[in-house]
Chains A and B, each alone.
Chain A
């Protein structure tokens, strides 16, 4: 276990310089990162090359996140992605002491309670991955195509409210982007203004 942690720390240290190069831009290669999942296992983005990847910024205390989890909309989107063989990474960039911060065990419990279908729940308490992707809100969604290009960044849908009733009439930007990627088409709506609570970064 200790050996693993050291290896992980070393991996982060090696990967860190890559973080400084560029922040995520739609149409550009998605910057690579390594982060620990809820079990403490390192997860590397470039390890999923060849598969489509969805990044979801999460804060269980945020009412906008609750809108999509309590209604089952997020889980439904996750399941639809999973059915297409898409990798789904839920990321928590909340700093310790801030709203929504979770330890690995708490994150596991959250995933279980919500019946989430994510591939992994990543912990980013220092906000390194969050800042790398310029994640601003929870939820804030990103889609990366199999070639590793960032093809969508923005809101989960086009109804910026905390009202569950709005979900039925909203356009789910993530599902639409996944469909476009699957069909080999350029993503029709490649960016949108994310909505929700601000990411609770340290500082």
Chain B
């Protein structure tokens, strides 16, 4: 009986282990435990990531959940001597539901845990890492407390990181707030909590929001006013109930999308508010200020849409369509219907594009729209589109919408008008994308409804001239009569379009180097061949004229994948290279320089680190230092941690630091010397004495 019981227990145990992944399917947030190194070294450490994937419309919570919610808790069952550190959370998002603030994650997010191993474990020993994780999963309507067993088996080894996960861990680390290093100050004045954070005046910040870890400091749902006064970033917000009695306020300051700084503030003087930083969309949703911002953005969008009409890619479509409307002659009713349909088409396309972008945003896509435009692959796509449009204008092939083939856009009447509007809006986007990135970025930080309104405004603006033509017969009568001159105009309009393509090629070259640009131009050439063939087939009136484009498109796609993603390194190092001729830091480079027997000065900096910038200005980038270093043949390496580079983060950790600044001096054959965090030129010149 006892034996049977034991066997039953074992079976149950096995079943439970076997069921663990299956039970995860009933959860609204699916957890997954992964380790950076599957074979951590004895006496060393590795990082675990608890990767949480909320189902659509569900969200999980930050350590301080805001007005309601619960942090993630893990009950560990670890082998003897193995210890797990606290959960590190990525920078959260704000979510206001019925006036209550929630600090949440709506897309996949990873919480990192430092796992320490005792010394003296025999290599090959299996380490079963087990735990029970508890968290709260919510939609805007309901909340469900969830719980799951998490497990991973590690083996004592050499501590090498798992190469397959390196990219993931780099991404997860980049989403973590970076320790600011210097201290903030806060003051409670009346009902206002005021926070000053030292941030270099030159650093661009956007979408600033202070997420407090200390409860009671601020009213979470209140809007935050952000301004800059010299090297101070000032956040003002309604104080929380317990603010007056606090001796320290910890939190995370978001300074850009998914980019935050962890800081601690002590009571002290907070300078007066300065120049306001672009309204953050957070706080009480669309408050009074938010409405104004949204209206302003909407007005701007309508104006922008209006401007799109004279863009080289839209103008021909519009003018040809307008002329066809003029042909309709006296039928005012038909003209009005067509104009309305055209407007609907333009607005619908803009809304659809906006919806896609918002969906990407909701999906937790780490990169914002502006960032997308820094992705060479996106630039390449735009290059191909503009080149294709230019070739079309030049007469290489005909688009059904413009030429009057049998496709949707050419169906006379309202249907045709709708699709022409849709086409105009679609074609307008690639032409303007690179130039409107900033404006669209602004639209995307607004709440979803307001952002969609901005996109709709863009479409409305685009349709305005056509609407005017449809509703004002006098305007229609003034249109020139259609004729062969229209074709000539179209050919001429090809020229600015080709120039746009040229500009994009240049951008691509900037971002992906000469190889990337060549790949891009090859793709454009292939597309050109494909389109030329299409044109030939169209000219001979064959059916299915478009199929030759398929192989060209496939080849272009393949090239797009091949374009190097990493932007040319030159740009990055140029920015941080000072008088010393510093080279970008890497551990290999450091080892190589040491092997040459040269003394090496290494410094780590970030654009958001004020003390780093001050040190660079007053001590590092100085002629006397440059001379002393040159005389002593000191090599200089600089690590730029602005974006939270994972390799640099690891190196900083190895030096026992969590952030920047860090100044190191390596003398040949001697242990590394860590320099003080406040430098003078004398400290540096003395190194070479």
Residues of chain A having any CB pair with chain B under 8 Å? 25-26, 61-64, 95, 98-99, 131, 136-137, 160-163, 191, 193-203
Does B141 sit at the interface, judged by CB under 8 A?
yes
- In the complex the two chains form, what is the Cα distance from A160 to B143 in whole Å? 14
CB <8 Å contact, A64 and B145:
yes
- In the complex the two chains form, what is the Cα distance from A163 to B73 in whole Å? 12
Would you give the shortest CB distance from A161 to chain B, in whole angstroms? Answer: 7
Name which of B95-103, B120-128, B398-406, B458-466 contacts chain A: B95-103
Query: What per-residue 1/0 map shows which CB atoms of B55-76 lie under 8 Å from chain A?
Result: 0000000000001111001000
Q: List 27 A-B residue pairs with CB atoms under 8 Å apart, sorted by A's residue number.
A: A25-B241, A63-B145, A64-B143, A136-B67, A136-B68, A136-B100, A161-B70, A161-B145, A162-B134, A163-B145, A191-B216, A191-B241, A191-B242, A193-B215, A193-B216, A194-B68, A195-B70, A197-B138, A197-B142, A197-B143, A198-B67, A198-B69, A199-B100, A200-B141, A201-B98, A202-B98, A203-B98
- In the complex the two chains form, what is the Cα distance from A150 to B486 in whole Å? 79
CB <8 Å contact, B136 and A198:
no
Chain B, interface residues (CB within 8 Å), range: 20 to 34
Pick the contact of B145: A26, A162, A194, A202 (CB < 8 A). Answer: A162
- CB neighbours (8 Å) of B557 from chain A are none
Does B11 sit at the interface, judged by CB under 8 A?
no
- CB neighbours (8 Å) of A200 from chain B are 98, 141
CB <8 Å contact, A26 and B241:
yes
- CB neighbours (8 Å) of A63 from chain B are 143-145
- CB neighbours (8 Å) of A64 from chain B are 143, 145
Would you give the shortest CB distance from B22 to chain A, in whole angstroms? Answer: 22
CB <8 Å contact, A137 and B98:
no
Closest residue on chain A to residue B102 by CB atoms: A198
- In the complex the two chains form, what is the Cα distance from A131 to B221 in whole Å? 13
Given A25-B241, A198-B98, A201-B99, does the pair A61, B142 have CB atoms closer than 8 Å?
A: yes
Residues of chain B having any CB pair with chain A under 8 Å? 67-70, 73, 97-100, 102, 134, 136, 138, 141-145, 147, 215-216, 241-242
Would you give the shortest CB distance from B448 to chain A, in whole angstroms? Answer: 16
Closest residue on chain B to residue A162 by CB atoms: B145
In the complex, number of A-B residue pairs with CB atoms less than 8 Å apart = 64
CB <8 Å contact, A198 and B134:
no
Pick the contact of B97: A26, A62, A191, A198 (CB < 8 A). Answer: A198
Would you give the shortest CB distance from B236 to chain A, in whole angstroms? Answer: 20
- With A162-B70, A193-B215, A197-B142 known, 4 other A-B pairs at CB within 8 A are A95-B98, A99-B141, A161-B70, A162-B145
CB <8 Å contact, A195 and B98:
no
CB <8 Å contact, A98 and B70:
no
Would you give the shortest CB distance from A150 to chain B, in whole angstroms? Answer: 11
Closest residue on chain B to residue A153 by CB atoms: B241
- In the complex the two chains form, what is the Cα distance from A203 to B98 in whole Å? 5
CB <8 Å contact, B136 and A162:
yes
Pick the contact of B70: A99, A136, A160 (CB < 8 A). Answer: A160
- In the complex the two chains form, what is the Cα distance from A79 to B46 in whole Å? 51
CB <8 Å contact, B68 and A137:
yes
Best-surrounded residue of B69, B134, B143 (most CB of chain A within 10 A): B143
- In the complex the two chains form, what is the Cα distance from A193 to B242 in whole Å? 11
- CB neighbours (8 Å) of B147 from chain A are 163
Best-surrounded residue of A25, A136, A198 (most CB of chain B within 10 A): A198
CB <8 Å contact, B241 and A163:
no
Best-surrounded residue of B68, B100, B136, B138 (most CB of chain A within 10 A): B68
- In the complex the two chains form, what is the Cα distance from A82 to B70 in whole Å? 31
- CB neighbours (8 Å) of B97 from chain A are 198
CB <8 Å contact, A163 and B134:
yes
Would you give the shortest CB distance from B453 to chain A, in whole angstroms? Answer: 19
Given A163-B134, A191-B241, A198-B97, does the pair A99, B142 have CB atoms closer than 8 Å?
A: yes
Would you give the shortest CB distance from B250 to chain A, in whole angstroms? Answer: 15
Pick the contact of A203: B69, B99, B141 (CB < 8 A). Answer: B99
- CB neighbours (8 Å) of B99 from chain A are 131, 201, 203
- CB neighbours (8 Å) of B242 from chain A are 191
- CB neighbours (8 Å) of A201 from chain B are 98-100
The 3 closest A-B pairs by CB, nearest first: A162-B145, A198-B68, A201-B98
- In the complex the two chains form, what is the Cα distance from A99 to B141 in whole Å? 6
Best-surrounded residue of A161, A191, A197, A203 (most CB of chain B within 10 A): A197
- CB neighbours (8 Å) of A198 from chain B are 67-69, 97-98, 100, 102, 138, 143
Closest residue on chain A to residue B71 by CB atoms: A160
Closest residue on chain B to residue A67 by CB atoms: B145
- In the complex the two chains form, what is the Cα distance from A136 to B98 in whole Å? 10
- In the complex the two chains form, what is the Cα distance from A63 to B241 in whole Å? 27
Best-surrounded residue of B97, B98, B136 (most CB of chain A within 10 A): B98
- CB neighbours (8 Å) of A194 from chain B are 68
Would you give the shortest CB distance from A19 to chain B, in whole angstroms? Answer: 16
- In the complex the two chains form, what is the Cα distance from A108 to B145 in whole Å? 27
- In the complex the two chains form, what is the Cα distance from A199 to B98 in whole Å? 8
Closest residue on chain A to residue B136 by CB atoms: A162
CB <8 Å contact, A195 and B68:
yes
- In the complex the two chains form, what is the Cα distance from A199 to B143 in whole Å? 11
Closest residue on chain B to residue A66 by CB atoms: B145
- CB neighbours (8 Å) of A137 from chain B are 67-68
Would you give the shortest CB distance from A176 to chain B, in whole angstroms? Answer: 19
Would you give the shortest CB distance from B344 to chain A, in whole angstroms? Answer: 31
- CB neighbours (8 Å) of B142 from chain A are 61, 99, 197
Closest residue on chain A to residue B68 by CB atoms: A198
- CB neighbours (8 Å) of B70 from chain A are 160-162, 195
Would you give the shortest CB distance from A126 to chain B, in whole angstroms? Answer: 12
